[in-house]
C-alpha cells in the first residue's frame, strides 16, 4: 500500500508517494488547475492500493479533494500542527514542497482515525449563507450608527427607537422626511438609509433561505427549546458533518464545552474551557440564556429549584452537547449516543 502526501498551494500541488515504512518512492508536481488534477488521477493509476493525504487547507484543496473523491479515492486530512514534529524528525534538512508533502504522507501513515474528506453537502451551503448574513449584518450596523449621528445633527429632537432602523416603514418615513432637507449631511443620510433598506431586504432573504434549509435537514435541532434558525445554522455550518467526530466527548472538546480538570488530591474540580469553536459556543450560550429566561417567565408554581430551571442553569454552565449530536443526521455512526435529556455535570471551580 502507498500513501500519497500532497502539499497544496494556489498555483502548484506537489505529491510524494511513500511505502509502508515511509520511504519515498515517487514524486510529482502539477498545476493547481483542472489539467493538473487529471495528471494526478492518471499518476495514481500506477499504484495498486493508495490512500491520499492532504494538508488541511480546504480553501486550497477543496476542488482537488472533490476530483479525488469522485474518482473513488480515499482522502484523509492532516492537521498542520501534526506536521511540525514530523519535519523536525526528517533526515532531509530544510523546508520545501517535497519535504512538506512527504511529512504529510508520513503523518497519515503514523496516525490513525484522521478525518476523512467528503463531498460538500448542505452543511457547507448553510455555513456560507450564515457567514454571508453575518457580514451583511455587520455592514448594516456600521451604517446604522453613522446614520443615527447624521439624523441627530439634522434634528436633535428626532427620536428613533432602538433597533428601529431595520423596519421598512420607518426607513421609508425617514427617507421621505429628508427629501426637502438640503446639504451634504442630509444627502449622505438619505444614501445610508437607502443602503440600510437594501441590506435589510437581503438579510431577511438569507434568513428565510437558511430557515428552509435548516428545517428541512435538521428539524429536531430547531425543536430544542431556545434554539432558533440562526443558532442552528451556526452549529450545523461549523460542525461540518458530525460523522467526523469519533464520540460526543470529542465533539464537546471541539466546541469548547468539555470541562478542563484543575484538581490535585481527593476533590475533583474542573473549570470552563476558553478554547474550542467560539461560534458554536456562542449559539449554545444564547440557547441556554433563552431557556433561563423562559424558566423565569414560567407560572408562579415553578421555582428556581424546579426541573426546568435546574436544566436551564446546567445548560448555561456546561452546554451539554447530547441534544445537538442526537439532532443531526449521522452517517456511518459507530458510537452510541445517550438520550437527549440534559445531564448534570461536576461542580465548576469558579475560576
d(CA 222, CA 227): 5
Angle formed by the axes of helices 229-239 and 184-217, to 10°?
70
- Asked if the model's pLDDT at residue 275 lies above 60, the reply is yes
- 204-237 burial: b if 16+ Cβ within 10 Å, else e: eebbeebbebbeebbeebbebebbbbbbbbbbbb
Whole-number pLDDT of residue 204: 96
Phi, psi of 109 (to 5 degrees): -70, -30
Phi, psi of 43 (to 5 degrees): -65, -35
Question: What single string gives the DSSP state of each residue in 83-137?
Answer: HHHHHHT-SS-S--HHHHHHHHHHHHHH-SSPPBP----HHHHHHHHHHHHHHHH
Q: What is the pLDDT of residues 45-87, one digit of tens each?
A: 988 889 999 988 888 888 999 999 999 999 998 887 777 666 6
Residue 48: name the closest of 73, 80, 83 by CA: 73
Cell 456562542, residue?
282
Instruction: Assign 120 a pLDDT band (cuts: 50, 70, 90).
Output: confident
Cell 490535585, residue?
264
Instruction: Assign 339 a pLDDT band (cuts: 50, 70, 90).
Output: very low
- Asked if the model's pLDDT at residue 115 lies above 90, the reply is no
Q: List Cβ neighbours of 38 (8 Å cut-off, separation of 6 or more).
A: none
HSE-up (13 A, CA, CB side) for residue 218: 32
User: In terms of CATH, what superfamily is 2-110?
Assistant: Ribonuclease H-like superfamily/Ribonuclease H (3.30.420.10)
- Asked if the model's pLDDT at residue 345 lies above 60, the reply is no
Average pLDDT over residues 179-185: 92
- Asked if the model's pLDDT at residue 307 lies above 60, the reply is no
Whole-number pLDDT of residue 6: 93
Mean pLDDT, all residues of the chain: 82
E strand or H helix at 254, and its extent? Answer: helix 248-255
Instruction: Assign 280 a pLDDT band (cuts: 50, 70, 90).
Output: very high
The percentage of the chain sitting over the pLDDT mark of 70, rounded to a whole number, equals 81
d(CA 112, CA 336): 20
Q: What is the pLDDT of residues 193-213, one digit of tens each?
A: 999 999 999 999 999 999 999
Q: What is the pLDDT of residues 64-73, one digit of tens each?
A: 999 999 999 9
Q: What is the pLDDT of residues 136-174, one digit of tens each?
A: 999 999 999 999 999 999 999 888 888 899 999 999 999
0.85 exceeded by the pTM? Answer: no
Amino acid at each position: 500500500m502507498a500513501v500519497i502526501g500532497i502539499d497544496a498551494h494556489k498555483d502548484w500541488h506537489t505529491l510524494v508517494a511513500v511505502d509502508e515504512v515511509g520511504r519515498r518512492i515517487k514524486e510529482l508536481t502539477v498545476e493547481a488547475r483542472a489539467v493538473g488534477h487529471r495528471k494526478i488521477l492518471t499518476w495514481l493509476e500506477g499504484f495498486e492500493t493508495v490512500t491520499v493525504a492532504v494538508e488541511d487547507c480546504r480553501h486550497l484543496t477543496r476542488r482537488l479533494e472533490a476530483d479525488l473523491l469522485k474518482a473513488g479515492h480515499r482522502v484523509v486530512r492532516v492537521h498542520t500542527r501534526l506536521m511540525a514534529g514530523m519535519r523536525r524528525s526528517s533526515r532531509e534538512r530544510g523546508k520545501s514542497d517535497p519535504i512538506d508533502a512527504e511529512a504529510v504522507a508520513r503523518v497519515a501513515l503514523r496516525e490513525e482515525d484522521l478525518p476523512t474528506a467528503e463531498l460538500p453537502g448542505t452543511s457547507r451551503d448553510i455555513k456560507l449563507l450564515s457567514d454571508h448574513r453575518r457580514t451583511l449584518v455587520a455592514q448594516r450596523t456600521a451604517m446604522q450608527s453613522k446614520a443615527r449621528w447624521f439624523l441627530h445633527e439634522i434634528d436633535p429632537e428626532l427620536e428613533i427607537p432602538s433597533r428601529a432602523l431595520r423596519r421598512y416603514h420607518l426607513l421609508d418615513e425617514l427617507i421621505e422626511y429628508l427629501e426637502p432637507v438640503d446639504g451634504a449631511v442630509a444627502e449622505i443620510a438619505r444614501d445610508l438609509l437607502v443602503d440600510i433598506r437594501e441590506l435589510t431586504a437581503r438579510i431577511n432573504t438569507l434568513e428565510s433561505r437558511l430557515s428552509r434549509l435548516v428545517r428541512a435537514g435538521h428539524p429536531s435541532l430547531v425543536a430544542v427549546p431556545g434554539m432558533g434558525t440562526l443558532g442552528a445554522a451556526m452549529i450545523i455550518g461549523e460542525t461540518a458533518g458530525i460523522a467526523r467526530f469519533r464520540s460526543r466527548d470529542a465533539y464537546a472538546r471541539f466546541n469548547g464545552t468539555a470541562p478542563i480538570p484543575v484538581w490535585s488530591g481527593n476533590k475533583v474540580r474542573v473549570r470552563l474551557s476558553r478554547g474550542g469553536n467560539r461560534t458554536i459556543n456562542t449559539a449554545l450560550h444564547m440557547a441556554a440564556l433563552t431557556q433561563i429566561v423562559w424558566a423565569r417567565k414560567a407560572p408562579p408554581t415553578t421555582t428556581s429549584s424546579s426541573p426546568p430551571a435546574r436544566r436551564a442553569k446546567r445548560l448555561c454552565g456546561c452546554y451539554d452537547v447530547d441534544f445537538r449530536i442526537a439532532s443531526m443526521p449521522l452517517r456511518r455512526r459507530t458510537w452510541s449516543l445517550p438520550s437527549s435529556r440534559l445531564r448534570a455535570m461536576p461542580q465548576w471551580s469558579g475560576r
